[in-house]
Amino acid sequence: MNIIEDLKWRGAINQTTDEAGLEKLTNKKKIALYCGVDPTGDSMHIGHLIPFMIMERFSRAGFHPYILIGGATGSIGDPSGRNTERPLQTKKMVKHNVEALTNQMKHLFGSDSNIHIVNNYDWTSNMSLLDFLRDYGKLFNVNTMLSKEVVASRLEKGISFTEFTYQILQALDFLTLYRDHDVQLQIGGGDQWGNITAGIDLIHRIEGQDAKVYGLTIPLMLKSDGTKFGKTAGGAVWLDPKKTSPYEFYQFWLNQNDADVIKYLKYFTFLPQAQIDELAQKVKDEPWKREAQKTLAREVTKFVHGEDAVKQAENISRILFQGNVQDLSTEEVSQAFNSVPTTEISSDPINVIDLIIAVGADKSKRQAREDVNNGAITINGSKVTDVDTTIQPQDHFDGQFVIIRRGKKRYFLAKVK
């Protein structure tokens, strides 16, 4: 199956500038392509992951992907998808984020990958304002720029000249990569269509209309209920394990609805069509087994965090299901209870009732005593039924944590200072 046909089957194509021409080109040779990300933060979240999974698909098919990290474009701000001006970051912040995203990309795709990482700061930082205006600004028609959705949507509230010029810089990226690396395809989100076509127009003006360059955008990812994909009650799901632990990451995918899971298997895994079709049938015939969700969680967690992270996440899940929290390692506690109510306590011995109140498991000592007497409280996996019990915070989990459970599912974490 041609790479473009595969992307169509996966529902991963929103728009292309010339689908037939691109399919014909990719049948003839292994082209170079690129996708960019601006360093607006020091980690990507799973929404960012979609186009880069496509880059990995191209890489596995023998093509030559380039990941562009926007040290230059990130300094001025992309107006795409925003109603107001993006706050400018300091040069120090941009530099830090560029380094963090570069390391994240290397972790995702590996040093031996066919994927190359470039920074557009390298070819823009020494360009003078006069050179920029004479060599490139002269080639852009303001009326055409104003008609681009990314700019037109901002005209009512206003857009700065800085953000207005963003599409010129991104167009320059495509031109530079075309000249230096024979890059013929740019991939991006649907909101990047105007910027992508600006790059194609620039290449055609400078290199001629015969230049074979293309654009491809991916669909906006929505859940079956129409809400935005990738958000939880706690916020975005990050690729950085310090922001979203591998266990939380695994659980996010494991908890997807039957209505969404096959779509996500197509987007976020490299499983072949036959296997995904088989999982789709299992969703219909045996939904209670959640085989598709388990496969999705394993595959995406393995890609982002590695095989060991999958094993650890599955081990944590099994232990928590059985209620045997005493079997968790200190690191696993940190992952599993990252999002539960957490309170700092001292390392001094503490009465169980006082501990329950301190972590907020109960609001009154009377209720806390009732819960203890009724066997509703477990501390570090052991049921406590004596209200006079003294808890030694340093006895478990290397003296760092105390786990309190009220009832069957309500957990609270005490961090030992």
**Residue 264 marked in a binding site:** no
Find out whether 170 is annotated in a ligand binding site. yes
Tokens describing residue 23: 């399919």
* Calpha distance 401→330 (Å, rounded): 8
136 is in an annotated binding site: no
Name beta bridge partners: 401: 415
> Do the annotations mark residue 92 as ligand-binding?
no
Known binding positions: 34, 166, 170, 231
Binding annotation for ATP? 231
Known binding residues for L-tyrosine = 34, 166, 170
